[in-house]
Structure 1
Amino acid sequence: MANNIFEACKRMRRKNPKIPFPFDSFPIMGSFKNLNYGPFRENIRLFLQEFAEKFEDNAVPGWGHHFVSKRKYHLIIPEVDYWKKPLKDNFLDVRTHILYGLIHCNGYGHLICINGVKAPSNFLSETDAMNLWDRICSTLCTRKVSVRDEINLRLLYVVGYGQSWYGKWGYKFSHGTFGVRKGKYESAVEYLRSLNLDKIISDFKNKSRGGRIKQIINKYRGVVDIPLITLSDLLKFMLGFGGRARVQGKTENKVVKSSCQHVLKRRDNEEPTSFDALVTSIANSCRWPARRVEHVLKQIVNLLKQNKGGCDGNYGVSRYEMREELRKCVGDTGLIDFVLKSVNCFAIGNYVVRRSLNSSTRRFEFSIQEVLEEAEPDCQWPEERVEHASEVTANILTENSDEENTMPWRELQDKARECLGETQPIDCVVHSMDNPMIRNQSISRTRKPSTNKFELPIQGLIKDAQNDTMECSVAEDALYLYRSVLFGYRDTHPLSLATKAIMDSKYFVKEWCFKEHNLDPLIALSCLFLPSFDELETELMRPLSPAVVVAVPLSSTIGELKVVAQAAFRDTYCIMDKFVASQIGGLKKIDENKVVCHSIEPSSPVWVRGSGLDLGTTLRYEDGAQRLTVDCCCGAKYDDGERLATCEVCNVSQHTRCSGIAEKEGALSDFLCSDCVAVSRRK
Structure 2
Amino acid sequence: MSNLDLTGCKKRKRGDKVFKFKNFGENGYPAEFVGSSFRENVKALVEFGHLESNLCWGMLCWSFQLEVHRHPPLHVLLFVVEEPIDASVNRHCKQCHFVGWGKHMVCNKKYHFLLVSKESIVVEACTKSKCNFHYNIINGTDSGNGMSSINDLVDSQGNVMHGVFHSNGFGHLLCVNGVEKGSDLPGFLILEFWDRLCTALRARKVSLNDISQKRGMELRLIHGIAYKEPWFGRWGYKFGRGTFCVTHQMYNKAIEALQSLPLCLLIHHLGPSNHEIPLIFSRYQTLSEQSLVTLGDLFHFMLELKSHLPKENSLGLSNNNQGILLETTCRWSPKRVEMATKVIVEALKRVKSRWISRQEVRDAARAYVGDTGLLDFVLKSLGNHIVGNYLVRRSLNPVTKVLEYCLEDISNVLPNYQESLAMSNSKLKANCKVTRFQLMKDMFYLNKYIFKDPKFSTGIFSAIQVAVRIVLDSKYFIKEYFGEIPSKIDLGLEGKVNLYCTILKRKNKEMVMNNPSLPPYECITMRKNATIDELKLEVEKIFKEIYWSLRSFVVEKISNLNAKGNDLAIGLVEVGQKLVFEGKNKDDDDEVEEEEEEVCESGPRKYVVECICGAKDDDGERMICCDICEIWQHTRCVGIPNSDQVPHIFLCTRCEQEIIHFPSLP
- Is the structural similarity TM-score above 0.5? yes
- What's 2:498 paired with? 523
In structure 2, relative to structure 1, the CA distance for the partners of 1:483 and 1:534 (3 Å cut) is: farther
Say which SS state the counterpart of residue 306 (structure 2) adopts.
Answer: coil
Q: Which moved more, 1:156-165 or 1:554-563?
A: 554-563
- Structure 1 residue 531 displacement after superposition: 3.5
In structure 2, relative to structure 1, the CA distance for the partners of 1:603 and 1:160 (3 Å cut) is: farther
- What's 2:315 paired with? 250
- What's 1:63 paired with? 96
Contact 1:523-1:553 within 8 A present in 2 as well = yes
In structure 2, relative to structure 1, the CA distance for the partners of 1:608 and 1:51 (3 Å cut) is: same
- What's 2:457 paired with? 490
Q: Which amino acid aligns with 2:251?
A: Y
Contact 2:490-2:498 within 8 A present in 1 as well = no
Unmatched runs of 5 consecutive residues or more in structure 2:
1-11, 58-86, 123-133, 138-148, 320-423
Contact 2:114-2:161 within 8 A present in 1 as well = yes
In structure 2, relative to structure 1, the CA distance for the partners of 1:246 and 1:42 (3 Å cut) is: closer
Contact 1:175-1:507 within 8 A present in 2 as well = yes
Within the candidate set 440, 445, 448, 1:475 is matched to 440
Say which SS state the counterpart of residue 175 (structure 2) adopts.
Answer: strand
Q: Which amino acid aligns with 1:495?
A: I
In structure 2, relative to structure 1, the CA distance for the partners of 1:642 and 1:562 (3 Å cut) is: same
1:180-191 equivalence runs, <5 A: 180-191=246-257
- Structure 1 residue 39 displacement after superposition: 1.5
- Structure 1 residue 133 displacement after superposition: 1.1
**Separation in structure 2 between the aligned mates of residue 216 and residue 247 of structure 1, nearest angstrom:** 21
Say which SS state the counterpart of residue 473 (structure 1) adopts.
Answer: helix
1:201-220 equivalence runs, <5 A: 201-207=267-273, 209=274, 211-220=275-284
In structure 2, relative to structure 1, the CA distance for the partners of 1:667 and 1:590 (3 Å cut) is: farther
Q: Which amino acid aligns with 2:49?
A: F
- Measured against aligned partners, the alpha-carbon deviations of 1:159-193 in whole angstroms (never above 9, x if no partner) come to 11111111111111110101101110111111111
Within the candidate set 551, 560, 579, 1:577 is matched to 551
Q: Which amino acid aligns with 2:96?
A: W
Contact 1:37-1:518 within 8 A present in 2 as well = no
Within the candidate set 115, 122, 139, 1:77 is matched to 115
**Separation in structure 2 between the aligned mates of residue 35 and residue 247 of structure 1, nearest angstrom:** 42
**Separation in structure 2 between the aligned mates of residue 594 and residue 574 of structure 1, nearest angstrom:** 31
- Structure 1 residue 506 displacement after superposition: 0.5
Q: Percent identity?
A: 27
TM-score in terms of structure 2 length: 0.62
Within the candidate set 238, 248, 266, 1:200 is matched to 266
Q: Which amino acid aligns with 2:457?
A: R
**Separation in structure 1 between the aligned mates of residue 45 and residue 434 of structure 2, nearest angstrom:** 54
Q: Which amino acid aligns with 1:23?
A: F
- Structure 1 residue 548 displacement after superposition: 4.7
**Separation in structure 1 between the aligned mates of residue 581 and residue 33 of structure 2, nearest angstrom:** 28
**Separation in structure 1 between the aligned mates of residue 655 and residue 566 of structure 2, nearest angstrom:** 60
- What's 1:221 paired with? 285
**Separation in structure 2 between the aligned mates of residue 603 and residue 230 of structure 1, nearest angstrom:** 48
| 1:550 and 2:616 aligned | no
The number of residues matched between the two structures is 461
Q: Which one has more relative contact order, counting CA pairs under 8 Å at least 6 apart? A: 1
Q: Which amino acid aligns with 1:148?
A: N
- What's 2:415 paired with? none
Contact 1:247-1:474 within 8 A present in 2 as well = no
Say which SS state the counterpart of residue 601 (structure 2) adopts.
Answer: coil
In structure 2, relative to structure 1, the CA distance for the partners of 1:486 and 1:577 (3 Å cut) is: same
Two-structure CA RMSD over aligned residues (Å) = 3.7
Say which SS state the counterpart of residue 634 (structure 1) adopts.
Answer: coil
**Separation in structure 1 between the aligned mates of residue 507 and residue 577 of structure 2, nearest angstrom:** 21
- Structure 1 residue 474 displacement after superposition: 0.7
Contact 2:540-2:553 within 8 A present in 1 as well = yes
Q: Which moved more, 1:476-485 or 1:90-99?
A: 90-99
- Structure 1 residue 236 displacement after superposition: 1.6
Within the candidate set 155, 158, 176, 2:224 is matched to 158
- Measured against aligned partners, the alpha-carbon deviations of 1:122-163 in whole angstroms (never above 9, x if no partner) come to 963222221111111111111111101010121111111111
**Separation in structure 1 between the aligned mates of residue 163 and residue 109 of structure 2, nearest angstrom:** 14
TM-score in terms of structure 1 length: 0.60
- Structure 1 residue 662 displacement after superposition: 3.5
In structure 2, relative to structure 1, the CA distance for the partners of 1:48 and 1:482 (3 Å cut) is: same
| 1:141 and 2:202 aligned | yes
| 1:237 and 2:206 aligned | no
In structure 2, relative to structure 1, the CA distance for the partners of 1:10 and 1:148 (3 Å cut) is: farther
Larger Rg: 1
In structure 2, relative to structure 1, the CA distance for the partners of 1:221 and 1:39 (3 Å cut) is: same
Q: Which moved more, 1:485-494 or 1:135-144?
A: 485-494
- What's 1:680 paired with? 659
- Structure 1 residue 601 displacement after superposition: 5.5
- Measured against aligned partners, the alpha-carbon deviations of 1:12-42 in whole angstroms (never above 9, x if no partner) come to 456xxxxx52123213476864333322122
Unmatched runs of 5 consecutive residues or more in structure 1:
1-8, 15-19, 255-432, 442-467
- What's 1:455 paired with? none
| 1:640 and 2:644 aligned | no
**Separation in structure 2 between the aligned mates of residue 503 and residue 650 of structure 1, nearest angstrom:** 30
| 1:663 and 2:654 aligned | no
Contact 2:545-2:551 within 8 A present in 1 as well = yes
In structure 2, relative to structure 1, the CA distance for the partners of 1:597 and 1:168 (3 Å cut) is: farther
Within the candidate set 87, 92, 101, 2:163 is matched to 101
| 1:512 and 2:576 aligned | no
**Separation in structure 2 between the aligned mates of residue 661 and residue 600 of structure 1, nearest angstrom:** 59
Say which SS state the counterpart of residue 192 (structure 1) adopts.
Answer: helix
- What's 1:563 paired with? 537
Contact 2:625-2:631 within 8 A present in 1 as well = yes
Contact 1:146-1:507 within 8 A present in 2 as well = yes
**Separation in structure 1 between the aligned mates of residue 41 and residue 575 of structure 2, nearest angstrom:** 20
**Separation in structure 2 between the aligned mates of residue 519 and residue 117 of structure 1, nearest angstrom:** 43
Say which SS state the counterpart of residue 523 (structure 1) adopts.
Answer: strand
**Separation in structure 1 between the aligned mates of residue 267 and residue 256 of structure 2, nearest angstrom:** 20
- Structure 1 residue 544 displacement after superposition: 3.8
**Separation in structure 2 between the aligned mates of residue 186 and residue 484 of structure 1, nearest angstrom:** 23
Within the candidate set 113, 117, 120, 2:175 is matched to 113
- What's 2:579 paired with? 606
Contact 2:246-2:474 within 8 A present in 1 as well = yes
Q: Which amino acid aligns with 2:193?
A: L
- Structure 1 residue 581 displacement after superposition: 1.2
In structure 2, relative to structure 1, the CA distance for the partners of 1:574 and 1:501 (3 Å cut) is: same
